[in-house]
Amino acid sequence: MKISIINGPNLNLLGTREPGIYGNQSFMDYFEKLKQQYPAISFDYFQSNIEGELIDQLQAVGFSSDGIILNAAAYTHTSVGIGDAIKAINTAVIEVHISNTFAREDFRHTSYISPNAKGLIVGFGLDVYRLAVESFLPK
């Protein structure tokens, strides 16, 4: 099974960015542990601060991966283009957010991802990525 993780803007700064909201762990440290937990899964990881690069990556993996875990970060709340890209590909997308976006500012309550996603996992810290992996495993 191949699972693709795509992270949007500022998530390269996890570990130092607003630790009260996003925690102290870098994504790469978390990702190494995640890969060890699921040795049978082939993971690929992509992060960009640029909207078009996130769309390019969705198109690049969206016809071959078995599942995509997407944290579009701030673009979640603004990007018609990323929402359209999810509609245009074949692979199911799980939308994740580290923080509980619904408990934060009103503008974070809108998502251009959710209407096109298979599911949504928010508010459990970095564990949202593991929970999304679990959702792709055969039952």
Annotated catalytic residues are: 22, 97
Contacting residues toward ligand DQA, per CB under 6 A: 10, 71, 73-74, 76, 97-99, 101, 108
Angle at 128 between CA 40 and CA 47, to 5 degrees: 80
| 1 or 123: CB nearest ligand DQA | 123
Q: Where are the alpha helices (DSSP H) in 38-138?
A: 51-61, 80-88, 127-136
Angle at 114 between CA 131 and CA 132, to 5 degrees: 10
| 41 or 120: CB nearest ligand DQA | 120
| 3 or 126: CB nearest ligand DQA | 126
State in angstroms the smallest separation of the CB of 3 from ligand DQA. 18
State in angstroms the smallest separation of the CB of 73 from ligand DQA. 3
Q: Is residue 114 classed as helix, strand or coil in its secondary structure?
A: helix
C-alpha 12/C-alpha 78 separation (Å) is 19
State in angstroms the smallest separation of the CB of 97 from ligand DQA. 4
Helix, strand and coil content of the chain, in percent to the nearest 5, comes to 45, 20, 35
Q: Is residue 109 classed as helix, strand or coil in its secondary structure?
A: helix
